[in-house]
Amino acid sequence: MRITINVDIGRTFTDCFVTIDNEFIWAKEPTTHHNLSLGFLQAIRKAAEQTGLSLGDMLKKTAVIRYATTLGMNALLERSGPRLGLITTAGFEDTIFIGKGSQWSHGLPLEEQKNIARVQKPEPLIPRHMTVGLRERIDCMGNVIIPLKEEEIIDKIQYLVDQGCEGFVVALLWSFFNPIHEHLVKKVIETKYPHYFLGNIPVVLSSEVRPKLGEYARTMTTILTAYLQKSLHEHLVALGDDLRDLGYKLPTLVVHNTGGIAKISRTKALDTCNAGPVAGLHGAHYLVNNNYDLNNVIVADMGGTSFDLGLIVNRNLKYVPFNPTIDRWWVDLSMIETASIGAGGNSIASYRADMNILEVGPRSAGSRPGSVCYDQGGEEPTVTDADLVLGYLNPEYYLGGRKKLNIAKAYQALKKLGWEMGAEPEELALMIKNVIDGHMGNEIFKETALRGRDTRDFVIFACGGAGPTHACGFAENVGVRQIYVFPFASVFCAFGSSMMDVVHIYERSKHIILQEAFSGQLLDDFHEFNETVTELQKKVLRDIRSEGFSEQDAFFVLDLEARYGTQLYFSRFTSPVLYINNEDDIKKIVNSFNRAYGEAYDPIGAYPEGGIEIETFILKAVVAMPKYSLKKRILEASFDAAYKGTRKVCWDSMGYIDTPVYNFNLLGSGYQIKGPAVIEAADTTVVIPQSYTFSMDELRCGLITKNA
């Protein structure tokens, strides 16, 4: 028996997807924000009950645990990180406070950006008095111009210690070309201020975190790494101890937003931001390349708190094209591109009397108290309350009957809000449904149509507990005609974790002119290119070996960031070769860049005459891990077995009508249901309006199609 456990912690529920040989089971438990480990262990305990094994016996038979956590982001949102000190080059102490010209808008929704009179820059994570400068200088070629003196380092460190510093961030100019001065600072701290004097205070170097061009982004990436690392490390170490006590002796692998997994010791806190949505995208990527002949997919995950969105374009995942923003901070990371808004089942509906509008989200009732119908003390109506009153949800079959919903309380909450707006509860419920569908449709539109992509070329994977309930609503808003609903839809991100491999990524800035401007002369000296790749490969192999793998277990992928000679920004693409051996290899790289640029923007915008410059090398090593494989499950069509009866459901202008209800798990392969209809699964509810048809395929996946 080969078992894998895959856990994704969301803001409302903790999802668990367990594979046993080639079968799967799932479990959901409310997220325990005060101690995420409790929800984690409770979710896998629920899964163990379904196997007939004790939790300890299941863990002893488990080959790998993959874990996507939000703890790092929680510490940032709560501003609960340690008191840090920043050590930088003298004269540049104000860099992070000046920021970029657009720093005031980073991380803010468009509505707040428009309110220019009130918007403010974010409060710095490190105050100005905790920032010191060292008299040193390394030039842009890596040459030492002003040597650094140990006496000055000791003086500045003592000042920060006296201020109560709990961690040191070192970000000196051009250290990514020559880190000798940053290493000296770390050596002095560890020698003059040993652990028994200061305690276990981290020293984080920008040359190790992000050895790339871009002073502000490199410094902020290093600061955030230091700010979040402690809480994440403590949580993961404690969780590892709990799992070992229960019988699991192997490393826990943490999901990264780069699209891979790694051991705790090789995980930086920033690597875990948005890890859940990235895992879901990775699962979708596996499905389109192994089970479904699809090129373009919108992965739309509507959970309890948020609506997470990602795209697969031409069967490929996309990295964030420019510097991503984490909370309010511009950083430099290789992250799979996702988007998120506050639109989920527990999003709160409220009335803005000053503007006479209904707002739904981004405020959320969370897992506690949750929606009013949860009967846990919630008082403000949510999307789930509206869905219940509209008849979409079965109050006796929520989470497969494990949780009963109080429809009377949901109705009263809607009635109270409706009284303020002059609307009946049923009318208000429909308004809430339409508003939230509009929000999600608008987000899809921004990520597709506003980026030059035709939504009619896409299909939707409806994920999350509430995704299949609202999928037809937001698909209608953007003109998508096909929606896929998988049997593990509500735990899709945890399923995606089960498809992830061990991945290590190292980056380095290195300016190389691949093709000269105007003359078209190609690079004739391959030494710098190959030397940079070799240097990165040594670092990656160190991590691979530390996790118990050999060089033969890994395959390497080289990405490059390049631009045409007259451009300001870089475009990322995959190099067809790892090393350059001859002129033909250079031509292959040039052609790959031209092709990638044309796909991202437009071939007519390409300007190879301006030359091609490489600025960043990104080397990725992948070690394949065991994966769950979907298999055909032929089930004879049985209308009588799947049919559960009818109930009153509201369908926009049609009002409440008697609507047939079916059991998702008993629908046969090839069976078709024309809307209006409701299909209930243990973990979600699929809502089929009148103009759609539902069918079940051989992999037990539901396909919703817009009627011609």
The domain containing residue 90 runs over which residues?
A: 76-231
For residue 619, the model assigns a pLDDT of 95
For residue 72, the model assigns a pLDDT of 67
For residue 550, the model assigns a pLDDT of 84
For residue 621, the model assigns a pLDDT of 92
List, for residues 582-629, the tens digit of each pLDDT value: 999 999 999 999 998 888 777 888 888 899 999 999 999 999 887 888
Quickly state the pLDDT bin for 546 (edges 50, 70, 90).
confident
For residue 200, the model assigns a pLDDT of 64
Is 60 exceeded by the pLDDT of residue 198?
Answer: no
What mean pLDDT do residues 245-265 have? 89
CATH code for the domain of 521: 3.30.1490
Q: Which of 231, 250, 274 is the last residue of a domain?
A: 231
Residues 96 and 162 in one domain: yes
Residue 445 covered by a domain? no
Residues 591 and 680 in one domain: no
Q: Give the chain's domain count.
A: 3
For residue 637, the model assigns a pLDDT of 60
Residues 93 and 195 in one domain: yes
Is 80 exceeded by the pLDDT of residue 680?
Answer: yes
For residue 196, the model assigns a pLDDT of 53
Contacts 24+ apart (CB under 8 A), 2-5: 2/61, 2/63, 2/626, 3/58, 3/61, 3/62, 3/63, 4/62, 4/63, 4/64, 4/65, 4/66, 4/498, 4/626, 4/628, 5/44, 5/47, 5/58, 5/59, 5/62, 5/64, 5/65, 5/66
Residues 690 and 565 in one domain: no
Residue 593 covered by a domain? yes
Residues 518 and 613 in one domain: yes
Lowest mean pLDDT among 26-30, 45-49, 227-231, 533-537: 227-231
Residues 586 and 656 in one domain: no
For residue 264, the model assigns a pLDDT of 82
Average pLDDT, the chain: 89
Residues 80 and 172 in one domain: yes
The residue ranking higher by pLDDT, 368 or 343, is: 343
Residue 21 covered by a domain? no
The residue ranking higher by pLDDT, 72 or 485, is: 485
List, for residues 83-118, the tens digit of each pLDDT value: 999 999 999 999 999 888 777 777 777 777 777 778
Residues 664 and 567 in one domain: no
Residue 652 covered by a domain? yes
Distance CA 556, CA 623 (A): 9
Residues 619 and 654 in one domain: no
For residue 556, the model assigns a pLDDT of 94
Helix (H) or strand (E) run with residue 153 in it? helix 150-162
The residue ranking higher by pLDDT, 10 or 155, is: 155
Quickly state the pLDDT bin for 363 (edges 50, 70, 90).
confident
Q: Which of 623, 650, 666 is the last residue of a domain?
A: 623
Residue 146 covered by a domain? yes
Residue 143 covered by a domain? yes
Query: How big is the CA angle at 122 (ends 121 and 127), to the nearest 5 degrees?
Result: 110
For residue 636, the model assigns a pLDDT of 64
Is 90 exceeded by the pLDDT of residue 399?
Answer: no
Distance CA 517, CA 525 (A): 17
List, for residues 267-314, the tens digit of each pLDDT value: 888 888 888 999 999 999 999 998 898 999 999 999 988 899 999 998
ω before 324 within 30° of 0 (cis)? no
Residues 213 and 182 in one domain: yes
Residues 560 and 678 in one domain: no
CATH code for the domain of 224: 3.40.50
Residue 47 covered by a domain? no
Residues 172 and 221 in one domain: yes
DSSP state of 398: B
List, for residues 528-541, the tens digit of each pLDDT value: 999 999 999 998 99
Q: Using H for helix, E for strand and C for coil, what is the string for 562-612?
A: EEECCCCCCEEEECCCCCCCCHHHHHHHHHHHHHHHHHHCCHHHCCHHHCE
Percent of all residues in the chain with a pLDDT value above 90, rounded to a whole number: 56
Residue 170 covered by a domain? yes
Tokens of 579: 């090393």
Q: Which of 203, 231, 259 is the last residue of a domain?
A: 231
